Amino acid sequence: MTADERNFRSTYYEKVGFRNVEEKKSLEILLKDKHVDILKLKQFCLRFSVPAIYRNTVWKLLLNVIPKYENCRQFVMEQRNQEFKDLLHVVQVMRLVDGNTSKPQVFLIMWLLQSGNLGYDFNTQYHRDYGFINIVQSLMEYFHFTDDIDIYWIAKSLYGNIIKIETDFPKLLECTCTILEREDNALYKYLQGEGILNNLPLEKWYKSCLAGVLNDSALAKIWDKLCGGSNKILVFAVISLLINQKYRLLTCTTLNQALDYLKNISDDAADVIANQSIEMWQQNGSPLTVHDKPKP
């Protein structure tokens, strides 16, 4: 069987819900351990896509929402629950939110209060931390049966990790252009020639972890790698997005035209983009082992 045929079959089986039995068993063994090996769990996320049924637990472990020690989790989540309720009560008493405030905005104000960054100019803060709102919205749609407390803490931790690497965004931008030039030189030259590539909101996409750009099913596969410790997956997701929409982009002469196309990605196209980005990431030396301080 050729490599292409294996890739096609793997993608097809995953899409219709059949996953490698051994992979699932290995994950179940990891999660059943009373002291979860976080490094091994990260390695699993880097090598495979996490089964949807386990994503909530896996992401909470990797994002340090719950501890790796099983006997401490109930206590920690009780504290998380109480802190969430206290934050919500405070922003309500301060009349910072009301019944018309959207849940992502409520969570943002709670996070700003909790992190000590709550100011008077909410418009500026919404503009600065739009990534948090986008991430919450995507988590709400993906984990639609999950309670608000889990969504808040996952969003807080995921966005916190992105804020920590914000200084690396220029490197990610440069890497995006370099790899796109190599992977599809014709598309790269066209987008550069039309002044589109350098004006795409790439930093905004990175800060949102592509929330609001791809559908939630596709995002989940990409966020598995983020939680596993590889921020560079965002670069390959952007490149795959551009290449997937190549023939539409080649008709664009303005940035607004390109953005209109890139804002209307079908669910099928988003799934293809996610799978192709992971394949490209793997082919370009993805880290399949992790260290205590992973590099972008």
pLDDT tens digits, the chain, 296 residues: what are they? Answer: 444 444 454 455 455 445 456 788 899 999 999 999 999 999 999 999 999 999 999 999 999 999 999 999 999 999 999 999 999 999 999 999 998 999 999 999 999 999 998 887 777 788 889 999 999 999 999 998 778 999 999 999 999 999 999 999 999 999 999 999 999 999 999 999 999 999 999 999 999 999 999 999 999 999 999 999 999 999 999 999 999 999 999 999 999 999 999 988 999 999 999 999 999 999 887 655 444 444 44
- List all residues 6 or more positions away from 133 whose beta carbon is below 8 Å from its beta carbon: 104, 105, 107, 108, 126
Q: Residue 186 has what pLDDT?
A: 97
Total domains, the chain: 2
Q: Residue 286 has what pLDDT?
A: 67
The verdict on 86 and 191 lying in the same domain is no
CA angle (60, 219, 201) in 5-degree steps: 115
The verdict on 136 and 172 lying in the same domain is no
Q: What is the CB neighbour count within 10 angstroms for residue 58?
A: 22
Q: Please tell me the pTM assigned to this model.
A: 0.88
Rounded Cα distance between 127 and 171, Å, is: 23
Q: Residue 21 has what pLDDT?
A: 65
Q: Residue 224 has what pLDDT?
A: 97
- List all residues 6 or more positions away from 252 whose beta carbon is below 8 Å from its beta carbon: 194, 196, 258, 261
Q: Residue 291 has what pLDDT?
A: 44
The verdict on 191 and 134 lying in the same domain is no
Chosen domain end from 163, 179, 194: 163
CA atoms within 13 A on the CB side of 71: 2
The verdict on 105 and 133 lying in the same domain is yes
- 238 part of a folded domain: yes
What DSSP letter does each residue of 42-82 carry, written as one string?
A: HHHHHHSPPPHHHHHHHHHHHTTSS-SBHHHHHHHHHHHHH
> What DSSP element (H or E) covers 276?
helix 267-283
- 55 part of a folded domain: no
- Which CATH number covers residue 215? 1.10.472.80
The verdict on 148 and 225 lying in the same domain is no
Q: Residue 5 has what pLDDT?
A: 42
The helix/strand/coil state of 141 is helix
Q: Residue 77 has what pLDDT?
A: 96
Chosen domain end from 134, 163, 192: 163
Q: Residue 290 has what pLDDT?
A: 44
- 34 part of a folded domain: no
Domain that holds residue 224: 166-283
- Which CATH number covers residue 101? 1.10.8.680
pLDDT in tens, 108-165: 999 999 999 888 777 778 888 999 999 999 999 999 877 899 999 999 999 999 999 9
- 83 part of a folded domain: yes
Q: Residue 141 has what pLDDT?
A: 92
Q: Which amino acid is at 24?
A: K
The verdict on 118 and 148 lying in the same domain is yes
Chosen domain end from 138, 163, 188: 163
Q: Where does residue 68 rank: exposed (0-12), middle (13-18), buried (19+ CB within 10 A)?
A: middle
The verdict on 151 and 254 lying in the same domain is no
The verdict on 151 and 203 lying in the same domain is no
- 42 part of a folded domain: no
The verdict on 193 and 152 lying in the same domain is no
Q: Residue 122 has what pLDDT?
A: 73
The verdict on 147 and 183 lying in the same domain is no
- 97 part of a folded domain: yes
Q: Residue 288 has what pLDDT?
A: 52
- 131 part of a folded domain: yes
The verdict on 126 and 211 lying in the same domain is no
- List all residues 6 or more positions away from 83 whose beta carbon is below 8 Å from its beta carbon: 114
Rounded Cα distance between 159 and 291, Å, is: 20
Whole-number average pLDDT of the chain:
89
Q: Residue 264 has what pLDDT?
A: 86
- 47 part of a folded domain: no
The verdict on 179 and 145 lying in the same domain is no
